[in-house]
Amino acid sequence: MNNILLVQHCKSEHHINHMTGGWTDTPLTELGVLQAGRVAQRLLRNVAGKEYKMYASDLLRARQTAEIINLQLHLPLILDRDLREINSGIAAGHTREWANEHRNPRAGLHFDLDYQEFPEGETWREFYLRVSLCMERICSTGHGNIVIVTHGGTLA
């Protein structure tokens, strides 16, 4: 039976600096580095003796998480831009406070797949389509056992 192990990147600078997530490209914190090491120890028990490949988002926080994990797992690592979090457009690199002041107004109270939160960003539909196609592509590669390191929104 094939396994797909999903890992959310560990604590990043954007978490503690009140920055937007999305495509804001921040490194792991010291705690995030420790967390990634602990995840590696846990994963080591699951992958021991089995052939796995690892895929990761190319954004720094996910890439660093994958690289730290891979210090113990020694897996082929493939970085994939399509595993990124939702594109936050002009909000990338800004504070959450700035983002709250500059996000596009919503048309209603209901969830809208075509809502684009920030100019130059993705709609939810575009995000889900990108990630779904990426996951289908990864799962169709024939690499039976896979570790995917990515972002919380991407995993949802």
Q: Kindly list the structural domains of the chain, giving each domain's residue range(s) and its CATH number in brackets, ordered by start.
A: 4-155 (3.40.50.1240)
34 to 19, 24, 37: CA distances (angstroms): 21, 22, 5
54: phi then psi, degrees, rounded to nearest 5:
-115, 135
Predicted pLDDT of residue 1 = 55
Supply the pLDDT for residue 109: 86
Q: Any idea what the Cα angle at residue 126 is, between residues 58 and 91, rounded to 5°?
A: 65
* Cα distances (angstroms) measured from residue 101 to each of 17, 88, 95, 121: 17, 14, 10, 16
- Backbone Cα Rg of the chain: 17
In a structure prediction context, what are the per-residue pLDDT tens digits for the chain, which is 156 residues long?
Answer: 579 999 999 999 999 999 999 999 999 999 999 999 999 999 999 898 899 999 999 999 999 999 999 999 999 999 999 999 999 999 999 999 999 999 999 988 899 999 999 999 999 999 999 999 999 999 998 878 999 999 999 998
